Amino acid sequence: MSALLQVEGLSVQFPTLRGDVAALEDLSFEMREGETVALVGESGSGKSTAALALSRLIPESTGCIISGRVVFEGRNLLGLPLHELREVRGRRIGMIFQDPMMALNPVFTIGWQLAEPLRKHFGLSNRAARDRAVELLGHVAIAAPEQRIDQYPHNLSGGMRQRVMIAMALACRPSLLIADEPTTALDVTVQAQVLSLIKTLKDELGTAVLLITHDLGVVWEIAQRVIVMYAGRKVEEGTAAHVFDDPQHPYARELLRAAAFASGEGGRLPEIPGSVPSPFEIPSGCCFAPRCTSAREICYAALPPLKSTKHGHEAACVLVGAASP
Amino acid sequence: MTEPILIARDLRKSFNVGGGWFGASDQLHALSSVSFELFPGETLAIVGESGCGKSTLARCLSGLMELTSGSFLVAGRDGRTFIRDDALQFHRAVQIVFQDPYASLNPRRTVSQSIADALRLHRICARGERRARVTDLLLQVGLSGDYLERFPHELSGGQRQRVCIARALAVAPEILVCDEPVSALDVSIQAQIINLLKDLQQRRGIAYVFISHNLALVQQICDRIAVMYLGEIVEMGVAAVMQQTFRHPYSRALFAATPMIGSRKVDQIRNPLAGDVPSPLHPPSGCHFRTRCPFAEARCRDQKPELREVAGRLVRCHFAEEISSNRQSRPRGSLPD
C-alpha cells in the first residue's frame, strides 16, 4: 500500500534575536492510510512545530526557514501555491488543537463554524450545511444537537468544545487528522470519552491520525506506531507494542519508566537527571548524552544516525547496535 | 499515637456568583462539609477533576482564602483566629507551593532575593547570615550556588519549582500544601520534583497536603487519599487499602479513566463515565454523582448519602457494600432523571 503522507528531511528554523533556532531537524517518517501515529516528546522536542509545518501553518513571513518535503496524496505540500493548499487544508487534512476555546471563534455559533468547511469545500447551501452540521454534532455524541448548534463556544464545556472541534475537523471526511495535544486541557474522565470518540470515528471513516502529545498514557491508548522526539530530532520509531515493550533508545526507555510512576528502590520514582537542553545550547553529538546514564565518549563526538534495530525499529543511538547483535 | 498536626472539621466555602446591583446572586458551594486529619510526616492526597474544590481547599488551608464556615486546627490552634491574630506565625506553620512556578515568582527579583524575602519578613536570621541560609536552602532542593543571582526567566520549569519549594521551606513549615506541584512540568522532571519532596519529608518530617488530578501518580506517593467530587469528599482512606479497589463509583471511574501504560485501554472500560461534571451552582439533589453514576437508583436522588465507613475507608455512597471489583453496574433499576 502506498504511503498517505511522506515526510522527508523536514527542518524548521525560527529566527530570534540570538540567532536562528533549529526547532525541528531532519524529520522523516511515513504514514499509511488509516494509521494512527503518535509523535511524542517533552516540551521543546519539536513535536508541535512538526504538526504545524506539515500543513504550512508556520508563518513564513516572519522569516522561518522550512526545508524538506511533505508529500501528501502525491503532492508536495511545501511547494503548493496557496490556493491549492487551501483545498487540502480542512478538506483532506483536518486539525484539532489543544485548547478548543482558542481554536473556536467566540463570536460565531458553533453551527456556523461547523458548517463553514462544508460550504467552502463542498459548496453546500446554508440550509444543507446546517442540516449536515446537526448530523455531525450527533455523531460526536453531543446531546440535543438541534439546540446546541445555535449556541456559542462559551456555552459549552471543555469536553463539548473539543467534540465540536473534532466534528469540524472531520466534517469533510479528510484522509488525515492532525491532533495536537487533543486532550491535554481536559479532565481524565472527559479525556477518556474524547479518546474513545477519536478511536471510533477513525475506524468508521478510515482516517489516519497523527497524534501529537507529551502524554505516554494517551499514546498507549490509541497509537499504532510511535515516534519519540527529543530536542528537535527523532530518536526512535517503531510499532507501539514494541516501543512500549522494548524501547531501544535510552531516552525512550527512561521516559517510559518515568511515565509509569512505578516506584523503584526505596519508594523513589525513577527520574531522568538534568533537563532538556536549551535550543540555543544544543550540545554537539547526541543531544541526550548529558542526561544519559550509559553515555560514552563517542556519544559526545558525533550525532548518532538513525539505525535500524530489531522489530523494524529505528533508533538514533550509537549504543543500540553495539549492545544487541 | 501522635497528635494530628492539622484537623479540619466541616469546612465550607461558598462564593456569591452573578447578580447585578439588584439581582439576587447565586451561591456556589465550592466546599461542603470537608473533614479530615493530617498527621506529622504524612502525605494526604486530595484528588479530583477541575471544579471539585481541591484548589479552594488548598487556599483555605493555607490562609489565602477565608472559610465560610467550619474550623481547622493547626498544631492545636484554631486556624481562623490564628490567621487573624498572628498571620506571620500561621504562615510559618503552613506554606503552599503552586502549580505554575513561573507565576508564583516575582520576575524582577533574583532567586536569592525571592528566598531571602521570606527570611527577612519572618525575621528568621540576622541579615549577615541570610546569604548562607539561602545557599543552604537551594542546596537542599538540589540547586547549586550558581543560581543565586539568576532571574526566574533564566530557569527551566523544574528549576523554578525547586526555587518555590526552597522559598516555602525557608520558614521551616510543619505543613506544606502542594497545589498540583508537578502538573505543569515535563514527565521526566515530574519524578525529580516528587523525589525531592519525598526526601525533604523524610529529612524534616513535613506533612503534605498534595493536591492532584492524577490518581495514578498519587497512588504511588501518598499515604492517604481523599477523592473529591463537587466540593465533597466521596472516598477517603489509606492508599495501600484503596489500591485498585475503590468503593465509590466516582473513584472507580476516575481510576479507570486514568491512562496507565500496560493496563487495559479506555475503550475497553465497560461503563465509561458519560457527560461532564455538573455545574457546582446547581448540583444534583441527593447524591451529587448520581447523574453520571452507573449504579444510581431512585434512592440516590431522594436521599443524600453520608460519609460512612465501609471496608476500611470512608465512602459516600448508599451502595458501597455492594460495589466490589467484579461488579460494573447494577443489573436492576433504571437511571432516575
Integer Rg of chain B from CA: 21
Strand order in the sheet with B308-310: B94-97, B175-179, B207-212, B43-47, B224-229, B232-238, B313-315, B308-310
Residue-level pLDDT at B139: 93
DSSP bridge partners of B27? B16
Residue-level pLDDT at B273: 80
pTM of the predicted model, to two decimals? 0.86
Please state, in angstroms and as integers, the Cα–Cα distance from residue B234 to each residue in A173, B288, B308, following that order: 43, 10, 10
Spell out the per-residue pLDDT of chain B, length 337, in tens.
688 999 999 999 999 887 667 777 788 889 999 999 999 999 999 999 888 999 999 999 999 999 999 999 998 899 999 999 999 999 999 999 999 898 999 999 999 999 999 999 999 989 999 999 999 999 999 999 899 999 999 898 899 999 999 999 999 999 999 999 998 888 888 888 999 999 999 999 999 999 998 888 888 789 999 999 999 999 999 988 887 688 999 998 888 888 878 776 766 666 678 777 888 888 899 999 999 888 888 999 999 999 999 888 999 999 988 876 544 444 443 344 3
Half-sphere exposure of B282 (CA within 13 A, CB side): 1
Sort B133 into a burial class: Cβ within 10 Å, 0-12 / 13-18 / 19+.
Answer: middle
Sort B107 into a burial class: Cβ within 10 Å, 0-12 / 13-18 / 19+.
Answer: exposed
Q: Which of A48, A155, A269 to mutate to test the interface with B (most CBs of B within 10 A)?
A: A269
Chain B residues lying within 8 Å of A260, measured CB to CB: 260-262
CB B48 within 8 A of CB B213: yes
Residue-level pLDDT at B152: 94
SS3 A96: strand
Chain B residues lying within 8 Å of A215, measured CB to CB: 187, 259
Interface contact A220-B259, CB threshold 8 A: yes
Q: Is A265's pLDDT higher than 70? A: no
Interface A:B, Cβ pairs < 8 A: 121
Residue-level pLDDT at A323: 45
Task: Classify residue B279 by its DSSP letter.
Answer: P
Q: In the block, which residue shows the cell 516555602? A: B168
Q: In the block, which residue shows the cell 471544579? A: B51
Long-range contacts, B83-86 (Cβ 8 Å, 24+): none
Residue-level pLDDT at B220: 79
3-state helix/strand/coil string of B150-192: CCHHHCCHHHHHHHHHHHHHCCCCCEEEEECCCCCCCHHHHHH
Question: For the packed helices A126-139 and A110-122, what is the interaxial angle rounded to 10 degrees?
Answer: 120
Please state, in angstroms and as integers, the Cα–Cα distance from residue A21 to each residue in A40, A44, A279, B69, B168, following that order: 20, 11, 6, 54, 36
**Which of the four pLDDT bands, split at 50, 70 and 90, describes residue A281?**
confident
Separation of first and last alpha carbons in chain B: 47
Interface contact A188-B269, CB threshold 8 A: no
Interface contact B273-A193, CB threshold 8 A: yes
Q: Is A276's pLDDT higher than 90? A: no
Q: Which of B43, B187, B248 to mutate to test the interface with A (most CBs of A within 10 A)?
A: B187
Chain A residues lying within 8 Å of B194, measured CB to CB: 269
Distance CA B262, CA A259 (A): 11
Task: Classify residue B116 by its DSSP letter.
Answer: H
Q: Which of A201, A275, A292 to mutate to test the interface with B (most CBs of B within 10 A)?
A: A275
